[in-house]
Amino acid sequence: MFASDRILALDIGNSKLVLAEFKLLASKSLELVNYAIAPLGFDPESTADSSAYIVSGIRDILRTSGIRPGPVAVSVSGQMVFPRYVKLPPVTPDKIAQIVKYEAQQNVPFPIDEVVWDYQLVGQETGELSVLLVAVKGDLVKNITDCVEAAGLDPVLVDVSPLALYNAVRYNYSDLPGCTMILDMGARSTNVVFVEGNKIFSRSIPVAGISITKDVMKEFELSFEEAEQLKVAHAFVGFGGVYEGHEVGVADRTSKIVRNIMTRLHAEVIRTINFYRGQQGGSQPGMVLLAGGCSIIPHANVFLKDKLKTEVDFLNPFRNVSVSSGISSDKVAEDLHLLGEVVGLALRRMLSCPVEINLLPPELAARKVLQRRLPFFGLAAIGCVLTVLVFGLFLHRLKSMAEQRLEKVQGLVASLEPTNAKLTELGKNKEQLYAKADDLSRLIAARTRWVTIFDSLHQELVSGMWLTTVRPLPPKDAKAGPRLEIRGMAFTDEVSNNQTITAYVEKLKGTGYFNDDLQIKRIKPVEGTDYATEFTVEIGLKDKLTPVVEVKPVEVNPADAKPVEAKPDEIKPVEAKPTGVEAVAPSLKPKELKPSTKGSA
């Protein structure tokens, strides 16, 4: 709430302003270092706006007293607020706020959104919670805080005068009897506050100094200012009865007016005491402490002591609060009755007080929260800037290191350029050698291809079959592969049917050299015989035929080397000998063949 040990407290009454500056000592106690009191110069009964008087009065105090502006705790008149005392059933702590809000809506005589309110738990009896509700019209308290800000001060807390007096008494009077009553006699109202253990009860009575002034105005037909001056100069409480009147006629008449007002006040105080005892379960006051501007009217303490039949004393808020040596003790003694509120306000800064009510407008409270967070936002922003700077330095350092490493790498790359050129040349030579090796491998494979093909043709033959001719055929089209025409014969008694020849052809497909392009062109007996059958088959090769050429070991430049091409027509057909037959079938003539035994049968 406060940024230093310097504390400002401002009490805004109906007819006066009190601004005090305190210092928080190392011993955790308060010291009054400066204060000033200024009249508002405003008729409390007037309906005109008092904002200008408040702003002007605060500025005059700051100028004449030398008090520097700063955060300030403010108290407002008890007549402005609506105190309510309610009893709550025993509930869990998390539900207290909800129930109190409901009670506030029921007890405050205005819409809840038009008031500023706060509450304080003040005790627990017979299982019930006692709650003090305090509410004030939102526009009234906002007008007060606006005036304080306009005068150059920073309101951080808004308390109520009777509650500030209660805190001051609780701090300075540790030896109080069971029940003590504070009688704060102000300009427009008299605040009655009961102090009894943890209990608190206050009531505002509309009988005070303004009542005396108004009767003086009627009695002497004076203006408000003149009546106020006469009251200050001649007012005292007359004894009445057999006591003689004052020698001066004006003073005697004034004393009777004051006595009449004090009698009315006494009646209201008695009614308040009875209410406190009957409705709040309180006790009869054992002591009365007087405060406020009208409390110093001569013989007022004697009158009240006689009427209330109890001890009456003036409130001293400096029993446990020290006063700076720079302030005149006589001056403080003269103003003692006006300084109780500012002491109670200052105590809110130093320690946790018995009653802590804050009626600061919500808008202003939200702004204060934001202001308290601004330093953290600033630190966060500074932290972000420093983070960016550090990260920038890191990136700069990283860039420098990367550049240094890049220079080293570039140097190494430059030193390896000759080696790279040699390796590139060797790679080219290697590719040329691989190309030569591939050509040689293909040539070697081509030289043995026909051997393996003919071997496959021979291996798949069955007994009694032989091949007569194998020759390549041109492809059917540009996309088709090469084909072979295979002609052969078989003994009729060994090959009983055409299925044997068909099975032979199917076996050829399984050798891996031939594809599915297979056609059996002819299967018929050899003309003029009955012991042999000839057949013709066309079958496609999977791979294109590579002509067999002779490669001489000649050293040639790869760039000048040209592939050797051979036409399929240049390959001569190969004649195969029949299995188990010594003579070649085509050389036999039909008439020279011996008749088959199976045929003759």
Residues 470-511: pLDDT tens digits?
A: 888 887 777 777 888 888 888 887 776 677 778 888 888 788
Residue 241 clears pLDDT 70, i.e. is over it: no
CA–CA distance, 74 with 230 (Å, rounded to integer): 31
Helix (H, G, I), strand (E, B) or coil at 469: strand
Q: Buried (b) or exposed (e) across 229-245, using 16+ Cβ within 10 A?
A: ebbeebbbbbeeeeeee
Residue 163's pLDDT is what? Answer: 94
Label residue 234 by pLDDT band (50, 70, 90).
Answer: confident
Q: What is the pLDDT of residue 507?
A: 83
Q: How far apart are CA 35 and CA 38, in angstroms?
A: 10
Range 19-46 burial, b when 16+ CB lie within 10 A, else e: bbbbbbeeeeebbbbbbbbbebebbbee
Residue 244 has pLDDT above 60, yes or no: no
Residue 513 to residue 470: CA distance in whole angstroms: 15
Mean pLDDT of 149-154: 94
Confidence of residue 368 (pLDDT cuts 50, 70, 90): confident
- Res. 534: pLDDT tops 50: yes
Residue percentage of the chain with pLDDT more than 70: 86
Mean pLDDT of all residues in 81-98: 85
CA distance 107 to 264: 28
- pLDDT of 248 reads 52
User: Strand order in 180-185's β-sheet?
Assistant: 199-205, 190-196, 180-185, 287-291, 311-314
- Please check whether residue 132 is in contact with residue 123, taking contact to mean a CB–CB distance below 8 angstroms: no
Which neighbouring-strand residues pair with 394?
A: none
d(CA 117, CA 128): 22
Q: Are 71 and 2 in contact (CB under 8 A)?
A: yes
Hunting for tokens 């702590």 — which residue is that? Answer: 93
d(C-alpha 596, C-alpha 601), whole Å: 8
Going by pLDDT thresholds of 50, 70 and 90, the confidence category of residue 198 is confident
Q: Is 401 exposed, middle or buried (0-12, 13-18, 19+ CB in 10 A)?
A: exposed
> Residue 537 has which token pair?
């088959």
Q: How far apart are the first and last CA of the chain?
A: 137
- Residue 256 has which token pair? 């009777």
Lowest-confidence region among 64-78, 378-392, 532-546: 532-546
Question: Would you put residue 528 in left (φ > 0), alpha (ψ -120 to 50) or beta?
Answer: left
Q: Residue 240: which pLDDT band, with cuts at 50, 70 and 90? A: low
Q: What's 245's DSSP letter?
A: P
- Six-digit token pair at 148? 């304080």
Beta-bridge partners for 489: 466, 534
Q: Is pLDDT at 103 greater than 80 in this prediction?
A: yes
Residue type, 592: E
Q: Which domains does the chain have, with CATH numbers?
A: 1-83+130-173+319-360 (3.30.420.40), 175-316 (3.30.420.40), 443-600 (no CATH)
Average pLDDT over residues 306-325: 93
Instruction: Look at the alpha carbons of 20, 206, 273, 281 in this order and tell me if their dihedral is positive or negative.
Output: negative
Indicate if the pLDDT at residue 176 is higher than 90.
no
Identity (one letter) of the amino acid at 447?
A: R
Q: Model confidence at 337, in pLDDT bands (50, 70, 90)?
A: very high
Residues 287, 291, 292: CA angle, nearest 5 degrees? 155
The whole-angstrom separation of Cα 389 and Cα 35 is 50
- State yes or no: pLDDT of 598 exceeds 70: no
User: What's the confidence (pLDDT) of residue 496?
Assistant: 62
- Retrieve residue 473's tokens: 């055929």
Q: How confident is the model at residue 164 (pLDDT cuts 50, 70, 90)?
A: very high
Q: Return the higher-pLDDT residue of 496 and 108.
A: 108
The least confident of 355-369, 407-421, 511-525 is 511-525
Percent of the chain with pLDDT over 90: 41
Reduce the DSSP state of residue 274 to 3 states and report it: helix
pLDDT (0 to 100) of residue 542? 77
CB 23 within 8 A of CB 347: no
Tokens of 470: 């194998």
**Between residues 505 and 267, the one the model is more confident about:** 267
Alpha carbons within 13 angstroms on the beta-carbon side of residue 148 total 30
The set of residues, in sequence order, having a beta carbon less than 8 Å from that of 352 and lying 6+ positions away, is: none
User: What is the predicted pLDDT for the residue at 50?
Assistant: 84
pLDDT at residue number 405: 92
Question: Could you give phi then psi for residue 566, rounded to 5 degrees?
Answer: -135, 140
Instruction: Give the whole-angstrom CA distance, residue 596 versus residue 367.
Output: 129
Provide the pLDDT confidence category of residue 372 given band limits of 50, 70 and 90: confident
- At position 306, the amino acid (one-letter code) is D
Ranges of H-type helices in 416-496: 417-459
- On whether the CB atoms of residues 345 and 164 are closer than 8 A, the answer is yes
The angle, 0 to 180 degrees and rounded to 10, between the axes of the packed helices 161-172 and 340-350 is 70
Cβ-count burial of 424 within 10 angstroms (0-12 exposed, 13-18 middle, 19+ buried)?
Answer: exposed
Query: How far, in whole angstroms, is CA 65 from its chain's centroid?
Result: 47
The token duo for 162 is 């009777």
Task: Indicate if the pLDDT at residue 237 is higher than 70.
Answer: yes
Question: In the predicted model, what is the mean pLDDT of the chain?
Answer: 83
Residue 309 CA to residue 366 CA, distance in Å, equals 49
| 290 beta partners | 183, 314
Question: DSSP class of residue 574?
Answer: B
Confidence category of residue 4, pLDDT binned at 50, 70, 90: low
Greater confidence (411 vs 198) lies with: 411
Helices (H) and strands (E) in the chain, counts: 14, 18
Residue 575: pLDDT over 70: no
Q: Return the HEC string of 359-419.
A: CCCHHHHHHHHHHHHHHHHHHHHHHHHHHHHHHHHHHHHHHHHHHHHHHHHHHHHHHCHHH
Whether 337 contacts 292, CB under 8 Å: yes
What local confidence, expressed as pLDDT, does residue 276 receive? Answer: 92
